[in-house]
């Protein structure tokens, strides 16, 4: 027989496109429309419905960037359509090849109740089935003219990301406003042919099944009269029934489809637009759930539920009903799908606390999976946090984006830094926007790396980011693949059902230890420095506010600000979303974030001040408060003392000219040589005589690189950026200064390009630390600024702080996995150590860094260079990223062991505060720990208002610890609990006490939450 396969396949493609799909809506009449454009920001629904309209017709333009227009469409069902299914077809000017990322609409009835969303692949609104002849149609559409920022030529700089610069030129042209008959038989034929045609393309040519499908398709096309598609569609479908009924092989891969619409809480649109995106999509999905009994939809991010509860209560009522029925599934248990690299220990914990508590309070639902399909890599401390929140599973997708190394598993145990393991799934379908295409299903089967041991995977199915979620077409295609020969089997299932089945069939999967590093988007550790510094400052202030508010409540009876802290935490958690904190959103988002962080700082400072004044009492003495978790200058951790009672810092600082025109600073602990270029050419630890700076090198060297990645400008830095570097060694000014505390400092001024940098290097009495303050007035574009510290330390690994501990990364590049980590994350410190001696670089400002090795010229031994990443200047999606003044704080700590790195990292982030008061003696801390290796992460009052004190501690050095936690109040009892402050299941967790002490035993990096009842 001749091979006519390509002939039949080409025939199918054309007939589908040109004859069958158009026949789904075979007849139509135009609708009449009027439009009103809101003069500014979006208006309430009632105002939009009542506003006057001016006529508009298909083909006319509308929609300046970021504007909102209200359309009213009216019409009458023709008498001859009586008894048929009728739909309105409203095309706002969509680009169907770009689901999401453009204009959208939400349809309302005349009474203001929402119907469904309008999106590029979802342009229909059901009017009646069956319709009555003469029936009047009246619908309102709230249409958002969101501009297309990520266009077909992506990453071009655009001013559309800020309302003030976006202009007022209309962006869209109304394409269709029609009332049409919906022919369900033709629509079903379309789905039949799409499923079989897509399946056929994935089957082996030499296999019989492909040819069986081909011949059935050929017969169906023969049975179809192209001049009467509606009249012959049933006959064509009959020719396909046999191949559609052929069951899947018993060994077929099994896919759990989960209805899904990944909606970034801000990205190429501002937060206010996400509120509306969520409303449109959830209106769509609740309507679809009512029509499709097998369909299950899931949505993560408690913040998004809270938004529709506040702004679209009528949509929220439908969501609550669907959740109660088990059809609309809250997933993830986090406030937002946050970045997980940069948030602090407490912030990462509170993502789960606030997310899970919202789902429990609103729906009575406790989900057990973390749902983070799009997050840019995962810190090694996360498994323990997930487990401590009462969850046990993790889903992610983004690791499939890695540039170099293909991740070796799809289902595995992920082991964190403390040894906690989380059952993790990484869907082989390689998308969180599955549309049920045959090529996607076949890719999942081929790609699944655990074949022979497991055969379950998950497919998040639906268009996200304004695409409207799952469509009726996706559901129909999944129904045909429920049990179809040649295909994986597809079932709609809740995430928990998938995880339970996957874990039952694969109880001992392989183990991956340590961070899940994404080999892409590394520059998100640096982009938008103000957003990152606002986050860090907010986290530090929240710790202080809780600590001092709890202390004042216990000691003075000052009311604890439960509601204020809850609201502020949620604001900070929202801004940790994985396109806000990473700096990959439009200018509008980051401008608002900067203003929000300023407001948060003001509110939290007021809470701290109110509590400290209550503790200090009335008087004129200066009282010094220490919120860091280690004693400082005679002040106990979490306590305060009068300034007059503090011991003077030992020793004094001296400064002398250096022969080459620089200076030598000395405080008896360190001797620092700053040369005429303002660079640190020597830093000697006087206790050991050890030199810190690598021979022939200079530390605190600013270096400038070109920075134009191949794509994803704000997200990526490509390895070739290192090929070209400019050392900033020219000096505009070099001066010596002293302050009232006796510290000595060198002030260095430089200019480069269109920018300037002022650095102050400070040595303080009694401190074995060189403080480095950098102010940059930044006006570069597509450049990367780093500060280099070449260290005379030989080591094949280094430590970088992460949540509740630290992890080790190699300093070498033996393998492609190590070479790919050329930019990495730290929190407050990185630490480098030879046995017995080490160096820490601590920071209050930055997250990104790189580490490389070099060779000592005199003896060929190796040295280690760490570079802190300071600033970038990408032009997409914000063409003015980080222009202006920035301030950074770092400190170099010679002779530091890992415990010193932990302590100094906290100190630089939690400065002392001075308050005028009359306290005659110290304010004792609410809790103190005998062993400095055990760090107090949080002190607060219990969220339930009981008055119990909640304390969270963790072992910080990677060793075992047994110690006492002493309370500064009479203790009635202590109980270990989860992050939500609940007793552990099964009655476990009673803590051992000894008077007012709690006895603690911790494994390396273990975190422990204690609930302390006051007598």
Residues 550-560: pLDDT tens digits?
999 999 999 99
- Picking from 709, 726, 730, the residue whose alpha carbon sits closest to that of residue 718 is 709
Read off the pLDDT of each residue in 948-967 and give the average, rounded to a whole number.
Answer: 98
In this predicted structure, the answer to whether residue 155 has a pLDDT above a threshold of 70 is yes
Give the Cα separation of 952 and 940 in Å (integer). 9
pLDDT of residue 464: 97
pLDDT of residue 220: 98
CA torsion through residues 817, 818, 821, 825, sign: positive
Instruction: List, for residues 800-811, the tens digit of each pLDDT value.
Output: 999 999 999 999
Residue 66's alpha-carbon distances to 149, 151, 416, 884, in angstroms, are 12, 16, 43, 26
pLDDT of residue 1: 63
Instruction: List, for residues 605-620, the tens digit of each pLDDT value.
Output: 999 999 999 999 999 8
Q: In the chain, pLDDT over 70 holds for what percent of residues?
A: 99
Give the Cα separation of 271 and 902 in Å (integer). 36
Give the Cα separation of 1010 and 436 in Å (integer). 47
In this predicted structure, the answer to whether residue 986 has a pLDDT above a threshold of 70 is no
CA torsion through residues 42, 44, 45, 51, sign: negative
In this predicted structure, the answer to whether residue 991 has a pLDDT above a threshold of 90 is no
Confidence of residue 860 (pLDDT cuts 50, 70, 90): confident
Read off the pLDDT of each residue in 929-935 and give the average, rounded to a whole number.
Answer: 97
Which of the residue ranges 502-511, 707-716, 778-787, 983-992 would you say has the lowest mean pLDDT?
A: 983-992
Give the Cα separation of 890 and 826 in Å (integer). 13
Instruction: List, for residues 206-238, the tens digit of each pLDDT value.
Output: 999 999 999 999 999 999 999 999 999 999 999
Contact 661, 676 (CB under 8 A): yes
Which two tokens mark 77?
Answer: 């069902």
CA atoms within 13 A on the CB side of 413: 14
CA torsion through residues 541, 547, 550, 554, sign: negative
Give the Cα separation of 536 and 365 in Å (integer). 32
CA atoms within 13 A on the CB side of 873: 20
Question: Angle CA(731)–CA(735)–CA(741) in degrees, nearest 5?
Answer: 140
In this predicted structure, the answer to whether residue 987 has a pLDDT above a threshold of 60 is no
In this predicted structure, the answer to whether residue 1000 has a pLDDT above a threshold of 70 is yes
Which two tokens mark 427?
Answer: 């869907």
Instruction: List, for residues 519-535, the tens digit of each pLDDT value.
Output: 999 999 999 999 999 99
Residue 828's alpha-carbon distances to 801, 895, 1014, in angstroms, are 6, 17, 33
Confidence of residue 919 (pLDDT cuts 50, 70, 90): confident
**Phi-psi category of residue 958: left, alpha or beta, with phi > 0 → left and psi -120 to 50 → alpha:** left
- Picking from 34, 97, 19, 32, the residue whose alpha carbon sits closest to that of residue 70 is 34
The verdict on whether 222 is a catalytic residue reads no
Contact 74, 136 (CB under 8 A): yes
Predicted structure pTM score: 0.97
Spot the catalytic one: 95, 151, 212, 374: 374
Q: In the chain, pLDDT over 90 holds for what percent of residues?
A: 95
pLDDT of residue 58: 97
Question: Angle CA(338)–CA(344)–CA(347) in degrees, nearest 5?
Answer: 60
Alpha helices in 433-511 (DSSP H): 438-447, 472-480, 495-505
Give the Cα separation of 453 and 775 in Å (integer). 56
For 980, the 3-state DSSP assignment is: coil
pLDDT of residue 859: 86
Which two tokens mark 901?
Answer: 């790195």
Mean pLDDT of the chain: 96
In this predicted structure, the answer to whether residue 538 has a pLDDT above a threshold of 80 is yes
Contact 418, 805 (CB under 8 A): yes
What angle, 0 to 180 degrees and rounded to 10, lies between the N-to-C axes of helices 472-480 and 184-202? 60
pLDDT of residue 989: 61
- Picking from 290, 206, 199, 764, the residue whose alpha carbon sits closest to that of residue 477 is 199
**Phi-psi category of residue 994: left, alpha or beta, with phi > 0 → left and psi -120 to 50 → alpha:** beta
In this predicted structure, the answer to whether residue 335 has a pLDDT above a threshold of 90 is yes
In this predicted structure, the answer to whether residue 3 has a pLDDT above a threshold of 90 is no
Give the Cα separation of 217 and 200 in Å (integer). 10
Contact 519, 819 (CB under 8 A): no
């Amino acid at each position: 027989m001749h091979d006519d396969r390509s002939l039949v396949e080409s025939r199918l493609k054309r007939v589908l496109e040109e004859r069958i799909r158009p026949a789904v809506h075979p007849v139509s009449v135009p609708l009449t429309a009027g439009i009103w454009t809101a003069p500014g920001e979006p208006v309430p629904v009632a105002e939009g419905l009542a506003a006057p309209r001016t006529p508009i017709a298909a083909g006319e333009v509308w929609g300046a960037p970021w504007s909102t227009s209200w359309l009213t469409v009216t019409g009458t069902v023709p008498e001859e359509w009586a008894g048929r299914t009728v739909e309105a077809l409203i095309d706002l000017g969509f680009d169907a090849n770009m689901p999401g990322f453009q204009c959208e609409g939400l349809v309302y009835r005349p009474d203001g109740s929402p119907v469904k969303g309008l999106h590029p692949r979802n342009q229909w609104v059901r009017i009646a089935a069956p319709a009555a002849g003469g029936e009047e149609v009246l619908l309102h559409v709230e249409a958002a003219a969101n501009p297309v920022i990520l266009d077909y030529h992506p990453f071009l700089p655009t001013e559309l990301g800020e309302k003030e610069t976006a202009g007022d030129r209309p962006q869209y042209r109304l394409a269709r406003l029609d009332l049409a008959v919906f022919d369900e038989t033709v629509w079903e034929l379309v789905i039949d042919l799409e499923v079989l045609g897509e399946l056929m393309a994935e089957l082996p040519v030499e296999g019989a099944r492909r040819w069986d499908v081909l011949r059935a398709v050929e017969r169906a096309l023969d049975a179809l009269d192209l001049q009467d598609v509606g009249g012959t569609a049933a006959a064509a479908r009959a020719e396909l029934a046999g191949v559609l009924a052929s069951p899947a092989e018993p060994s077929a891969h099994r896919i759990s489809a989960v209805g899904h619409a990944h909606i970034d809480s801000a990205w190429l649109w501002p937060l206010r637009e996400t509120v509306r995106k969520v409303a449109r999509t959830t209106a769509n999905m609740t309507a679809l759930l009512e029509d499709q009994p097998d369909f299950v939809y899931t949505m993560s991010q408690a913040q998004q539920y809270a938004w529709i509860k506040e702004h679209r209560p009528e949509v929220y009522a439908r969501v609550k009903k669907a959740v109660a029925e088990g059809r609309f599934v809250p997933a993830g248990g986090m406030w937002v799908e946050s970045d997980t690299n940069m948030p602090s220990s407490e912030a990462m914990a509170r993502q789960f606390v606030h997310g899970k508590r919202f789902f429990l309070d609103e729906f009575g639902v406790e989900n057990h999976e973390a749902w983070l399909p799009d997050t840019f890599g995962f810190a090694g401390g996360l498994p323990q946090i997930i487990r401590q929140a009462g969850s046990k599973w993790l889903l992610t997708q983004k690791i499939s984006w890695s540039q170099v190394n293909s991740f070796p598993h799809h289902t595995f145990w992920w082991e964190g830094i403390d040894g906690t393991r989380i059952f993790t799934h990484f869907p082989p379908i390689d998308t969180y926007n599955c549309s049920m295409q045959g090529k996607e299903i076949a890719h999942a089967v081929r790609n699944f790396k655990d074949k022979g041991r497991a055969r379950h995977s998950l497919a998040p199915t639906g268009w996200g980011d304004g695409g409207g979620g799952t469509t009726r077409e996706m559901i129909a295609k999944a129904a045909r693949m429920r049990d179809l020969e040649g295909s994986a089997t597809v079932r709609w299932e809740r995430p928990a059902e998938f995880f339970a089945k996957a874990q039952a069939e694969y109880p001992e999967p392989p183990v991956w230890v340590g961070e899940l590093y994404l080999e892409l988007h590394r520059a998100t550790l640096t982009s938008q420095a103000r957003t990152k510094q606002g986050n860090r400052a907010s986290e530090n202030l929240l710790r202080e506010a809780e600590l001092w508010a709890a202390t004042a409540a216990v000691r003075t009876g000052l009311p604890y600000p439960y509601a204020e802290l809850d609201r502020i935490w949620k604001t900070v958690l929202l801004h940790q979303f994985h396109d806000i904190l990473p700096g990959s959103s439009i200018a509008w988002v980051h401008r608002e974030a900067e203003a929000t962080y300023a407001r948060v700082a003001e509110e939290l400072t007021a809470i701290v001040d109110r509590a400290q004044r209550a503790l200090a009492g009335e008087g004129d003495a200066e009282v010094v408060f220490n919120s860091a978790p280690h004693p400082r200058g005679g002040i106990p951790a979490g306590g305060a003392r009068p300034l007059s009672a503090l011991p003077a810092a030992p020793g004094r600082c001296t400064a002398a000219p250096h022969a080459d025109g620089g200076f030598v600073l000395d405080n008896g602990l360190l001797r620092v040589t700053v040369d005429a270029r303002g660079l640190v050419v020597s830093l000697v630890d006087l206790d050991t005589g050890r030199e810190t700076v690598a021979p022939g090198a200079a530390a605190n060297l600013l270096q400038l690189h070109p920075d134009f990645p191949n794509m994803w400008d704000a997200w990526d830095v490509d390895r070739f950026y290192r090929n070209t570097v400019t050392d900033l060694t020219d000096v505009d000014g070099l001066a010596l200064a002293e302050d009232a505390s006796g510290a000595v400092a060198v002030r260095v001024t430089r200019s480069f390009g269109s920018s300037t940098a002022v650095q102050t290097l400070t040595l303080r009495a009694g401190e074995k630390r060189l403080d480095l303050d950098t102010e940059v007035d930044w006006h570069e574009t597509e450049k990367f600024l780093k500060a280099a510290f070449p260290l005379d330390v030989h080591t094949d690994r280094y430590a970088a702080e992460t949540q509740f501990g630290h992890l080790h990364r190699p300093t070498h590049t033996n393998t492609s996995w190590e070479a790919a980590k050329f930019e990495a994350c730290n929190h407050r410190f990185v630490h480098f150590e030879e046995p017995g001696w080490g160096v820490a670089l601590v920071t209050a400002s930055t997250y990104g860094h790189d580490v490389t090795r070099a060779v000592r010229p005199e003896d060929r031994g190796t040295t280690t260079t760490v570079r802190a990443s300071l600033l970038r200047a990408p032009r997409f999606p914000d063409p003015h990223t980080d222009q202006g003044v920035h301030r950074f704080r770092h400190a170099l700590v010679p002779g530091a062991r890992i415990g010193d790195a932990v302590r100094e990292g906290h100190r630089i982030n939690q400065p002392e505060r001075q308050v005028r008061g009359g306290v005659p003696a110290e304010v004792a801390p609410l809790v103190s720990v005998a062993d400095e290796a055990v760090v107090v992460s949080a002190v607060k009052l219990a969220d339930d208002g009981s008055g119990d004190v909640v304390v969270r501690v963790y072992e910080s050095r990677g060793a075992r610890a047994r110690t006492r936690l002493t309370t500064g109040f009479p203790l009635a009892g202590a109980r270990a609990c989860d992050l939500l402050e609940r007793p552990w299941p099964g009655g476990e967790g009673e803590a051992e006490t000894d008077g007012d002490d709690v006895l603690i035993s911790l494994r390396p990096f273990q975190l422990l939450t204690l609930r302390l009842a006051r007598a």
